[in-house]
Amino acid sequence: MTNQQGPAIQVNGLEKSYKELRVLRGVSFEVARGSIFALLGSNGAGKTTAVKILSTLLKADAGTARVNGFDVAAQAADVRESISLTGQFAAVDEILSGRENLVLVARLRHLKDPGGIADDLLRRFSLTEAGGRRVATYSGGMRRRLDIAMSLIGEPPVIFLDEPTTGLDPQARIEVWQAVKDLAAGGATVLLTTQYLDEAEQLADRIAILHEGRIIVNGTLAELKRLLPPAKVEYVEKQPSLEDVFLSLVGTKA
Amino acid sequence: MAKHFFGDTTVLLGRSLRHITRSPDTIITTAIMPVALMLMFVYVFGGAISTGSGTPYVNYMLPGILLITVASGIAYTAYRLFMDLQGGIFERFQSMPTARSSVLWAHVLTSLVANLVSLVVVMLVALLMGFRSAAGVPAWLAVAGILTLFTLALTWIAVIPGLTAKTMEGASAFSYPLIFLPFLSSAFVPTGTMPGPLRVFAENQPVTSIVNAVRALFAGQPVGDDIWVALAWCAGILVVAYGFAMRVYRRRIT
Ligand SMILES: Nc1ncnc2c1ncn2[C@@H]1O[C@H](COP(=O)(O)OP(=O)(O)OP(=O)(O)O)[C@@H](O)[C@H]1O
Ligand SMILES: [Mg+2]
């Protein structure tokens, strides 16, 4: 499924309404292979809607979208082979254990050695100890990490993460960021949505802002910063941020 | 995409069956109501009911009780499907390269297994209460076949609220009229005692022919036309419910 040339994601004039409500009014952007693309937007801007269209869960009213070279409407099955989706709300099976969830997804992706894949991911996401427990007993952060781990099974070339770090503690957040960076370093293309500007700053090669149904800016962090008047040079004593304090107290190496 | 249909359905069936073995209370609660009805009818009302058949009353009313068991069991099918849709795991499956209707078929087959277990439980209680059958192996197979077809037909009906309900109560409320239907049939009293219009309804609704056929098979008597009418009803309901459920499902996944 890597026969395709050109951008990993191409979106052109995408429109979507829910009855009267026009959520997407001509959204266009491209995401280069192997890059991390952040879609920013306030609540209700339509980020989840866009991600659902790109992951074949929703049909657009107008416009085209290609993922890994495949049209999301006409070649949905090929798109599904190429992607993984981590939705905004954890999509895990509460009654199964963490390990069983991972094995289930590995089986559904028709992979060899589902058990080995599951154990490996449990280790990578610090869930080995909890792996045998029912997910119903997990904390929100553990659930989210399992959710993301489930999405990485099968190493799909294009990865959608809808607000991957909402509800995580700073430490888990940094773990997820590291996982996302590793994915891109391994050649995967990542599209993530977020409301945290620092998350976009940290991770993204390009950032787009979705506002009132359109992409109003799209560029690298440096390009976006140039949109504002040049920074004034001011001398201030640097105070540690609350995040710095928290992280030093709970003892992470960030 | 049809290439993985059986494999994917098997994997997902394994998942749902695990749900059931981890909350066996669903099987027990499914069996409790029919067993309570059976106790009440046999020991409280039974003495006053004259069926004119000369057999123990438990023999007379068991077929109807079995249908009530299935009618209450399928409420859990709708419930489990509803919970999958709510939890987001359904969307995860739909965004994966999994055969499209496997999720649905896994729920249907799970329903079949769960209901057959409940039926066996109810049947064992009936044996303790003095139920005896003169049926040979072919008659038992015929009973099993009719009950399987009946369960499948009702399961496909249950899929519709499972896919469309907005609340958990809504997902299972549809089963109440189905549970009630055997009371307006030949299941507990001969239809001959009912007043005019009610009697016409009772004699021509599906439950009566199914009950009469199963009762005759248990008694080792000739079944006559009842079995064909029963099979026609079950097959007809199955086809209509399946067609309708599939349409709802297709609309739901695109
Ligand atoms: N199924 C639906 N039916 C009707 N309206 C919907 C539906 N899904 C989303 N909407 C509306 O569409 C708009 C965009 O929703 P969407 O979930 O895409 O926003 P979002 O950018 O992901 O927001 P958030 O940051 O809160 O997750 C919202 O106003 C929402 O109420
Ligand atoms: Mg959203």
What string of pLDDT tens digits covers the 254 residues of chain B? 467 889 999 999 999 999 998 888 887 888 888 999 889 888 888 777 777 777 788 888 999 999 999 999 999 999 999 999 988 899 999 999 888 889 999 999 999 999 999 999 999 999 998 888 888 899 999 999 999 999 999 999 999 999 999 988 888 888 888 888 988 888 888 888 888 888 889 888 899 999 999 999 998 888 888 889 999 999 999 999 999 999 999 888 87
Phi-psi category of B226—alpha, beta or left, where left has phi over 0 and alpha has psi -120 to 50?
Answer: alpha
Would the pLDDT of A126 be above 80?
A: yes
Q: So what's the pLDDT on residue A157? A: 93
Confidence (pLDDT) at B152: 96
Quick one: pLDDT at residue A254? 41
A221 domain-assigned: yes
Nearest-Cα distance to chain B for A73, in Å, is: 9
Whether ligand 1 lies within 6 angstroms of the CB of A88 is answered as yes
Chain segment A177-224, per-residue pLDDT in tens: 888 898 899 899 999 998 888 888 889 999 998 988 999 889 888 887
User: What is the rounded distance in angstroms from the CA atom of residue A175 to the CA atom of residue A158?
Assistant: 20
CA distances from residue A189 to A48, A177, A215 in whole angstroms, order as listed? 18, 14, 20
Pairing of the two strands A36-40 and A83-86 = unpaired
Alpha helices (H) along A11-160: 47-54, 76-82, 98-108, 114-124, 140-152
> Is the distance from the beta carbon of residue A121 to the nearest atom of ligand 1 less than 6 Å?
no
Is A224 within the bounds of a domain?
Answer: yes
Per-residue burial over B234-243, b = 16 or more CB atoms within 10 Å of its CB, e = otherwise: beebbeebbe
Domain that holds residue A13: 9-90+157-250
Helix-strand-coil split of chain A, %, nearest 5: 35, 25, 40
More confident residue, A239 or A35: A35
Give the model's confidence band at A246: pLDDT under 50 very low, under 70 low, under 90 confident, else very high.
low
**For residue A175, what pLDDT is reported?**
82
Higher pLDDT, B166 or A237: B166
| Side-chain half-sphere exposure of A207, counting CA atoms within 13 A | 20
How many domains is chain A built from?
1
Residue of A90, A101, A82 whose CA lies nearest to A158:
A82
pLDDT of B209 reads 92
Containing structural domain, residue B171: 2-253
The whole-number average pLDDT for the span A44-67 is 94
**Interface contact A74, partner B, CB < 8 A:** no
pLDDT of residue B25: 82
Burial of residue B175 (number of CB atoms within 10 Å: 0-12, 13-18, 19+): buried
CATH number at residue A192: 3.40.50.300
- The residue nearest atom 27 of ligand 1, judged by CA position, is A43
Whether A137 is covered by a domain: the verdict is: no
Whether residue A214 is contained in a domain is answered as yes
> Which of B148, B110, B156, B84 has its CA nearest to residue B10?
B110
Q: In this predicted structure, what is the pLDDT of residue A230? A: 66
Number of other residues whose CB lies within 10 A of the CB of residue A171: 16
Interchain proximity B88–A91, CB inside 8 Å: yes
The response to whether residue A87 sits with its C-beta less than 6 Å from ligand 1 reads: no
Q: How many A×B Cβ pairs under 8 Å?
A: 61
Flag whether A121 is in a domain: no
Is A95 within 8 Å of chain B by CB?
A: yes
Chain A residue numbers touching B106 (CB-CB < 8 A): none
DSSP at A96: S
Q: Assess if residue A24 is contained within a domain.
A: yes
DSSP alpha helices (H): ranges in B129-183? 137-164, 168-173, 175-180
Residue B89 near chain A (CB below 8 Å) = yes
User: At A85, which helix (H) or strand (E)?
Assistant: strand A83-86
Is residue A152 a part of any domain in this protein?
Answer: no
How many angstroms is it from A47 CA to the middle of ligand 2?
5
Choose among A80, A90, A92: nearest Cβ to B95.
A80
Distance A19 CA to ligand 1 centre (A): 12
Amino acid at A59: K
- The H or E element spanning position A208 is strand A206-211
| Segment among A7-21, A34-48, A221-235 with least mean pLDDT | A221-235
Count of domains forming chain B: 1
The whole-number pLDDT of residue B1 equals 47
Out of A77, A104, A134, closest to residue B1 by CB = A77
Spatial contact of B160 and B36, defined as CB atoms under 8 Å apart: no
Q: State pLDDT tens for residues A130-168.
A: 999 999 999 888 898 899 999 889 889 999 999 998 878
Place of tokens 């491209």: A30
String of b and e for B50-82 (b: at least 16 CB within 10 Å)?
ebeeeebbbbbbbbbbbbbbbbbbbbbbbbbbb
Supply angle C-alpha B217, B221, B227, rounded to 5: 50
For residue B18, list chain A residues with Cβ-Cβ distance below 8 A.
95-96, 100
pLDDT of the residue at B49? 75
Kindly state if the Cβ of A44 falls inside 6 Å of ligand 1: yes
Q: CB–CB of B114/B26 below 8 Å?
A: yes
Q: Is A49 in the pocket of ligand 1 (CB under 6 A)?
A: yes
To the nearest whole number, what is the mean pLDDT of chain A? Answer: 87
Alpha-carbon dihedral sign for residues B94, B99, B101, B103: negative
* Residue A112 in domain: no
Q: Which of A162, A179, A121, A13 lies closest to B92 in space, CA to CA?
A: A162
Query: In this complex, do A108 and B89 lie within 8 Å of one another by their Cβ atoms?
Result: no
State pLDDT tens for residues B138-147.
999 999 999 9
Residue-wise pLDDT tens digits, B146-157? 999 999 999 999
Task: Using a pLDDT cut of 90, give the percent of chain A over it.
Answer: 54
- Tell which wins on pLDDT, A237 or B225: B225
Least confident of A90-99, A114-123, B46-55, B85-94: B46-55
Q: How many CB atoms lie within 10 A of CB A252?
A: 12
Q: List the single residue in B with minimal CA-CA distance to A102.
A: B15
Q: Residue B220: its pLDDT value, please?
A: 86
**Angle formed at CA A81 by CA A79 and CA A82, multiple of 5 degrees:** 65
Which is more confidently placed, B176 or A55? Answer: A55
* Contacts of residue A90, Cβ cutoff 8 Å, sequence gap at least 6: A140, A143, A144, A146, A147, B88
Complex confidence, ipTM: 0.85
CB contact under 8 A, A83 and B18: no
Average pLDDT of A19-23?
Answer: 91
B251 and chain A in contact, CB less than 8 A: no
